[in-house]
Chains A and B, each alone.
Chain A
């Protein structure tokens, strides 16, 4: 058996190029370019071969979405081994206890949940009230559980669509690792305690916002993705609610400061998502997703630019609303200008690389912005302005 050194001749870029040439109409070639560790799901079908159509069927047939940067490597195997491997690919739907944490992590989109909890925590921290670590922890936990529930239901609804998109092929329901009922039960097991925790241990307003967010995400955003481009705006609201929840968890009421923080997330969503969706247009089109990047490309770029500039305006609004000092708009100007610059380039060039640059910038821009806001937080406020509803915190500890 000889192994060829992959990086010498066949790189991920080459395979991606080949993948783009895939046509399902013609011949059925698929070759195993991957060894068993990648668990290739290359399939062989006996469609009629066509001579000139020359379709290369899925040379990189199933690439796990989780490992986009690993170069594929080639392994030579005998016919029997290959058949045995194919046979092994039929798996019994038997949930191994040991796999459950990993499955649940992917079902609940744990990284996204962590980001949501971080934005909620930022909202909590920005609220101009004494920091209560217990309520902070409880509200973060409740928000995290609510987010897990929403993400699980989203995956439950979207199973056939996820199967057909490269980015999402790796999800548990798509791979058949758990049943749909299991996913729904997990969602209920997270969502009900999460919302209950927020309502009873924090305050009803936060609980209501949590439940509203779950509803918006699962029953509005998810179906809308396939019906209309307004899904992006609904999704931006969904992203804006967690910091508002953090603020209301701390103060107990909806104040302009909370809405401002929500506004930051709302505006940020557009350069973030529009840039991401720009390079996924083929998958969205094939999967039937109606996204601005596919149906209204000019609007997509314009909206991203508009909201990037809007972030500058919102940063200036922060000291006006007594959320931060006047230092904040000044020190956040460089990063806001940078993302606006990248959005402007995206608007003008509208190519893959400018979209990618804007997307990656958005990933660090948001945490940076929130951190800067935190460092410029305004601690002293007028007495009339601040309301500390101790009555709405039924589980306040005696020490407090």
Chain B
């Protein structure tokens, strides 16, 4: 195991209930922990999008958009817009989640300090606050970010609409193309039916 993995294991074990805390060596090896992100990202296919597992920071799923052969301008525009929106979305939510966790952590520590308690109790377990105490933090977080959320909302709706309209146009275009190709191939094809 790398040093990172060992640290991970130690951290992980700290949060397990007492009954589990002292695992046998067999158990330790059994729990495989890898701290490297699987950087696997499939190549864009020409027919279908690839949808990946949710990102741990933003909880959004990355998509590798398909690049059709003879991609039209419209399709390219759609693909770029979707990719850009996905990145923008990911950034917003990753930032949101990280900020939330950081501020929550800081709040818990400050509240515990005000009570004169340490972060961990005698067993080494983290203390947590009651849901009423946490409610103060949740309210504060929402109020602080109100404008930011409202702006995100507006922007997200606008992008969502644009993407859907573009998708509709692309679909209609490709249907029209297929129909007209079939029609023209029928005309130029077999003379007798």
Q: Which residues of chain B come closer than 8 Å to A43, judged between CB atoms?
A: 37-38, 53-56
Please report the total number of A residues contacting B with Cβ < 8 Å: 79
In B51-69, which residues have CB < 8 Å from any A CB?
Answer: 51-61, 63-64
A294 touches B138 (CB 8 A): yes
Q: Which residues of chain B come closer than 8 Å to A181, judged between CB atoms?
A: 164, 167-168, 171
Partner of A297, one of B40, B126, B135, B164: B135
Shortest CB-to-CB span from B94 to chain A, Å, is 8
A76 to B37, CA, bound (A): 19
A352 within 8 A of partner (CB): yes
The interface size bin for chain B is 35 or more
Shortest CB-to-CB span from B61 to chain A, Å, is 5
Q: Which residues of chain A come closer than 8 Å to B35, judged between CB atoms?
A: 27-29, 44, 46, 49
A308 within 8 A of partner (CB): no
B60 touches A160 (CB 8 A): yes
Q: Which 5 residue pairs spanning A and B have beta carbons closest together?
A: A176-B51, A285-B138, A29-B8, A288-B149, A43-B56
Q: Which of chain A's residues has its CB closest to B19's CB?
A: A9
Shortest CB-to-CB span from B84 to chain A, Å, is 14
Q: Which residues of chain A come closer than 8 Å to B60, judged between CB atoms?
A: 160, 163
B153 within 8 A of partner (CB): yes
B190 within 8 A of partner (CB): no
Q: Which of chain B's residues has its CB closest to A21's CB?
A: B126
5 A/B residue pairs, CB under 8 Å, sorted by A: A29-B35, A86-B38, A90-B40, A176-B49, A180-B160
A286 to B96, CA, bound (A): 7
In the complex, per-residue mask of A36-62: 1 if CB is within 8 Å of any chain B CB, else 0: 000001011110010101111111011
B101 touches A24 (CB 8 A): yes
A79 to B31, CA, bound (A): 11
Q: Which of chain B's residues has its CB closest to A79's CB?
A: B32
Binds A, one of B10-18, B110-118, B181-189: B10-18
A82 touches B32 (CB 8 A): yes
Partner of B8, one of A28, A157, A175, A176: A28
A44-B38, A76-B31, A288-B96 known; 11 new pairs, CB 8 Å cut-off, are: A10-B20, A24-B56, A25-B98, A27-B7, A45-B37, A57-B56, A92-B48, A92-B50, A157-B160, A180-B167, A288-B153
Q: Which residues of chain A come closer than 8 Å to B15, judged between CB atoms?
A: 18, 21, 56, 59
Given contacts A90-B53, A294-B142, whether A286 and B97 have CB atoms under 8 Å apart is yes
A164 to B96, CA, bound (A): 10
Partner of A91, one of B38, B51, B105: B51
A30 within 8 A of partner (CB): yes
Q: Which residues of chain A come closer than 8 Å to B167, judged between CB atoms?
A: 179-181
Partner of A281, one of B8, B98, B100, B138: B138
User: Which secondary structure dominates where chain B touches chain A?
Assistant: helix
Q: Which residues of chain B come closer than 8 Å to A10, judged between CB atoms?
A: 16-17, 20
Q: Which of chain A's residues has its CB closest to B27's CB?
A: A4
Q: Which of chain B's residues has its CB closest to A31's CB?
A: B33
B11 touches A27 (CB 8 A): yes
Partner of A288, one of B101, B145, B157: B145
B134 within 8 A of partner (CB): yes
Q: Which residues of chain B come closer than 8 Å to A163, judged between CB atoms?
A: 54, 58-61, 93
Q: Which residues of chain B come closer than 8 Å to A340, judged between CB atoms?
A: none
Max chain B C-beta neighbours (<10 A), residue from A45, A54, A223, A350: A54
Q: Which residues of chain B come closer than 8 Å to A54, judged between CB atoms?
A: 11, 14
A93 within 8 A of partner (CB): yes
Q: Which of chain B's residues has its CB closest to A54's CB?
A: B11
B138 touches A46 (CB 8 A): no
A285 touches B100 (CB 8 A): yes
Q: Which of chain A's residues has its CB closest to B143's CB?
A: A295
Q: Which of chain B's residues has its CB closest to A43's CB?
A: B56
A97 within 8 A of partner (CB): no
A114 within 8 A of partner (CB): no
A159 to B31, CA, bound (A): 34
Q: Which of chain A's residues has its CB closest to B105's CB?
A: A23
A111 within 8 A of partner (CB): no
Q: Which residues of chain A come closer than 8 Å to B64, judged between CB atoms?
A: 90
A82 to B9, CA, bound (A): 18
Shortest CB-to-CB span from B120 to chain A, Å, is 9
Shortest CB-to-CB span from B102 to chain A, Å, is 6
A93 to B98, CA, bound (A): 29
Given contacts A160-B60, A163-B59, whether A23 and B93 have CB atoms under 8 Å apart is no
Shortest CB-to-CB span from B169 to chain A, Å, is 10
A47 to B156, CA, bound (A): 28
Q: Which residues of chain B come closer than 8 Å to A91, judged between CB atoms?
A: 50-51
Given contacts A163-B60, A294-B138, A352-B131, whether A79 and B164 have CB atoms under 8 Å apart is no
A227 within 8 A of partner (CB): yes
B131 touches A281 (CB 8 A): yes
Q: Which of chain B's residues has its CB closest to A10's CB?
A: B20
In B17-52, which residues have CB < 8 Å from any A CB?
Answer: 17, 19-20, 26-27, 30-38, 40-42, 45, 48-52
A156 within 8 A of partner (CB): yes
Partner of B34, one of A44, A156, A295: A44
Given contacts A10-B20, A164-B97, whether A90 and B37 have CB atoms under 8 Å apart is no
